[in-house]
Amino acid sequence: MIADKMRELVKNSSAIRAMFEEGKKMAKEYGAENVYDFSLGNPNVPAPPQVKEAILKELEEADSLMLHGYMSNSGYEDVREAVARSLNQRFETAFAQNNIVMTVGAAGGLNVILKTLLNPGDEVLVIAPYFGEYNSYVANYDGKVVVVSPNTETFQPNLKELEEKITEKTKAVIVNSPNNPTGVVYSEETIKQMTAILDRKQKELKTDIYLISDEPYRELAYDGVNVPYLTKYYANTIVAYSFSKSLSLPGERIGYLVIPDQAADGKEIQAAANAATRILGYVNAPSLMQRAVARCLDARADVPYYNRNREVLYNGLKELGFDCIKPQGAFYLFVKSPVEDEKMFCEAAKKHRILLVPGASFACPGYVRIAYCVSYETIVNAMPAFRKLAEEF
Amino acid sequence: MIADKMRELVKNSSAIRAMFEEGKKMAKEYGAENVYDFSLGNPNVPAPPQVKEAILKELEEADSLMLHGYMSNSGYEDVREAVARSLNQRFETAFAQNNIVMTVGAAGGLNVILKTLLNPGDEVLVIAPYFGEYNSYVANYDGKVVVVSPNTETFQPNLKELEEKITEKTKAVIVNSPNNPTGVVYSEETIKQMTAILDRKQKELKTDIYLISDEPYRELAYDGVNVPYLTKYYANTIVAYSFSKSLSLPGERIGYLVIPDQAADGKEIQAAANAATRILGYVNAPSLMQRAVARCLDARADVPYYNRNREVLYNGLKELGFDCIKPQGAFYLFVKSPVEDEKMFCEAAKKHRILLVPGASFACPGYVRIAYCVSYETIVNAMPAFRKLAEEF
């Protein structure tokens, strides 16, 4: 009796859950410390202490009716104001509270903006490798995902193909930098070239093309790398941010959209995003968490911890002969499979109790994703298992 | 550039917001205490103290990674287990954790279950007067709302018309008792007759028809009235519950779905609802709030406060000659407009600084909704204004 569209999606979910269950089963059989589960993007670094302090302060000081009550569907005005101010300080932007819509994480934000923008049949470009959930989000509003194939040299976007695939039906391009699954940060040069293409195509086709920047990993950047703020390069940019990784709050579902006034029909999009938040059943982002994150806009989870994981894992794997680009952000390594069929490689890894995700899940077969948001000990302890795996190939 | 579907919805939102803004403007002009805003279902009774205690306890005792981390898309297993156990104790049901999906409020739950069930063109019956948002929720999944017209004698459902409007395309019936906007509780007799019709029609048409029970007001029931638990009357029942009103947490977005094993394809629906939660971008219900409400399943907001409001307002309006059925639940009165065009009546009320919602918003013109989830003082102070209004008609 379930909807036809859901049938396939449930089947895929079951596959992921099967992996999840297998991990749990292996942990039971061999002991959790002897299973090296690199399959999930679930932070292993706790929320910074400011989060708890902020929640306690709100519980102590705020009126219960305000703290837990309804507010505008777009969020508390003072929270949106605080977010705008923080962005302005950090990125020299000029946002005000009307540019911010508080959302149920970045996933909620992406759904709100896609609901707001897409007519059935509208095309949304995504750049492989990319987070597979974009397929579902775009399908929710009967849009069509158009995949730009991966540039496996640098994992910067394949801009030539991007330009070729823009049509009159292109409503949006989703970018994700620092990137899941590669950890690559799109350079300022990339951004300048990409936005020049979008500007040119907009003029040529007499359309508006929105650049949707999915930024859950913005704060996880290493070696002082610059992560360009895209609204400064292209007027039709919309940002979907999440506190899931920056404050290690993935379960709390809190993030925001930035909708600049400069975007085409910006005011209309702001009003429609407010309505879409309600209509999609979110109603508003969780109220206590809105207020809590507004007090923690400068706080960060322990990024150096991830950085140490990155260094040790990257160097270790390189030494073992694995082929991998050094990531500058997020908490993923995207490693070339020593055999063409990376699923076979994942199966072999599983025999050494190493759990990896095949690149096919990100429209980039031949690679595997290693999520290093695990404990440092897991990485150290996994190295002998990686060594044995390397020897097999 | 916004989606065609969103255009009309934004216009409607703007109308509601205009009312909202007008209320704020009036409060500024005349002082908040001199404006009688009965337009919003926003609780004026604070969360019970157990909520704060529960949050503090979780912050103190729980591991941050668990407390704010990802869990199954359907929610923490122990939270779902606690919800199932509480239901079993209260309603002599036999649910287990797999029957519970934690959701982003009842609005989130309704969207999850409609996404799970509806194919484009499927019909969903709603019983007027009804919460207007159902139109949007059903439209999100390209379903078709079929309205059963109101029975203005008792505001129990018009069962004859319900039966006539069931077709092979009927996938679900949404009921809401205690009802928004009437406050009426559907009696056990009503439920028995309604479910007998559904059973008969299922056999006749060889289909499954799901009864979706939207229950944000379940705990707001007065005079010891019985609010039947619908899974006990009809196998294909799915319950959408919210803690928004029972614990005065509307901004926190926390509720759950009950999907019984006995429902047709129950197991499949449970799996699909888990996937739909993810795909719609909710990912999961807010984590800290899941854990907090699990500690407060027997706590309630101050229901006697609402009851006093109900008595004073109902008796006051009856004395002034207004025509209204006495509500047994929720926090709304649904009053017959003294003139056919209730919008005209609402405009007249506004001149006395009384804000009401026209019945047309609930597919029941000729009536107005008065939300009495306001302070007691607002009700007492509004009575002279209601008297003047009555004298005009």
Structure tokens, B11:
């216009």
- Cβ-Cβ contacts under 8 Å between A and B: the total is 233
Structure tokens, A373:
């948001």
Which residues are within 8 A (CB) of B290 and not within 5 positions of it... i.e. 6 or more apart? B71, B75, B76, B79, B102, B254, B284
What whole-number distance in Å separates Cα of residue B39 and Cα of residue B19?
Answer: 9
What's the pLDDT at B361? 92
Closest-CA distance of chain B to residue A305, Å: 15
A10: pLDDT strictly greater than 90? no
Count the residues in chain B.
Answer: 393
CA dist A158 → A129, A163, A167, A364, B135 (Å): 11, 9, 16, 13, 42
DSSP secondary structure of B221-261 = B-TT-----GGGT-TTEEEEEESTTTTT-GGG--EEEE--T
- Kindly report, residue by residue over A376-393, the tens digit of the pLDDT: 999 999 999 999 999 999
Residue A204 amino acid letter = E
What's the pLDDT at A188? 98
The label of the residue with tokens 């729980």 reads B62
Is the four-CA dihedral A146, A151, A152, A156 of positive or negative sign? negative
The mean pLDDT values, 10 residues at a time, for chain B of 393 residues are: 90 74 86 91 93 98 95 96 98 98 98 98 98 96 98 97 98 98 98 98 98 98 97 98 97 98 97 96 98 98 97 98 96 97 96 94 96 96 97 93
What whole-number distance in Å separates Cα of residue B393 and Cα of residue B388?
Answer: 9
The answer to whether the Cβ–Cβ distance between A69 and B250 falls below 8 Å is yes
Residue A86: pLDDT band with limits 50, 70, 90: very high
What whole-number distance in Å separates Cα of residue B227 and Cα of residue A40?
Answer: 43
Neighbouring CB atoms inside 10 A of A380's CB total 13
Q: Which domains does chain A have, with CATH numbers?
A: 4-47+301-392 (3.90.1150.10), 49-294 (3.40.640.10)
A323: pLDDT strictly greater than 80? yes
Is the four-CA dihedral A152, A155, A159, A165 of positive or negative sign? positive
> E strand or H helix at B100, and its extent?
strand B100-103
- Kindly report, residue by residue over B275-313, the tens digit of the pLDDT: 999 999 999 999 999 999 999 999 999 999 999 999 999
The answer to whether the Cβ–Cβ distance between A140 and B279 falls below 8 Å is yes
Count the residues in chain A.
Answer: 393
CA dist B187 → A276, B173, B191, B247, B336 (Å): 35, 17, 6, 24, 22
- Kindly report, residue by residue over A220-267, the tens digit of the pLDDT: 999 999 999 999 999 999 999 999 999 999 999 999 999 999 999 999
Query: Between B9, B110, B274, which is nearest A281 by CB?
Result: B110
Quick one: A45 exposed, middle or buried, by C-beta within 10 A (0-12, 13-18, 19+)?
buried
What's the pLDDT at A8? 85
Please state the φ and ψ torsions of residue A222, each to the nearest 5 degrees. -120, 165
**Helix, strand, coil distribution of chain B in percent, nearest 5:** 50, 15, 40
Which positions in chain B touch A289 (Cβ < 8 Å)? 286, 288
What whole-number distance in Å separates Cα of residue B137 and Cα of residue B108?
Answer: 10
Question: To probe the interface with A, which of B64, B114, B290 has the most A CB atoms within 10 Å?
Answer: B64
Find the closest chain B residue to A52 by CA distance. B59
What's the pLDDT at B42? 86
What's the pLDDT at B11? 82
Query: Which whole number is the average pLDDT over A51-77?
Result: 96
CA B291 to chain centre: 23
Structure tokens, A219:
């704060």
The answer to whether the Cβ–Cβ distance between A282 and B1 falls below 8 Å is no
Which positions in chain B touch A55 (Cβ < 8 Å)? 55, 59, 288
Quick one: A175 exposed, middle or buried, by C-beta within 10 A (0-12, 13-18, 19+)?
buried
Neighbouring CB atoms inside 10 A of A224's CB total 6
Which positions in chain B touch A107 (Cβ < 8 Å)? 281-283
What's the pLDDT at B282? 98
CA dist A334 → A101, A145, A184, A380 (Å): 33, 23, 9, 18
What's the pLDDT at A12? 77
Question: To probe the interface with B, which of A4, A51, A68 has the most B CB atoms within 10 Å?
Answer: A68
Label each residue of A19-81 as H, E or C. HHHHHHHHHHHHCHHHCEECCCCCCCCCCCHHHHHHHHHHHHHCCHHHHCCCCCCCCCHHHHH
Find the closest chain B residue to A208 by CA distance. B1
Which ipTM did the prediction report? 0.96
Question: To probe the interface with B, which of A280, A293, A373, A374 has the most B CB atoms within 10 Å?
Answer: A280
What's the pLDDT at B379? 97
What's the pLDDT at B173? 98
Structure tokens, A197:
């293409």
Which positions in chain A touch B59 (Cβ < 8 Å)? 52, 55-56
End-to-end CA distance of chain A: 46
What whole-number distance in Å separates Cα of residue B73 and Cα of residue A178?
Answer: 25
Angle at which helices A266-279 and B133-140 pack, to 10 degrees? 100
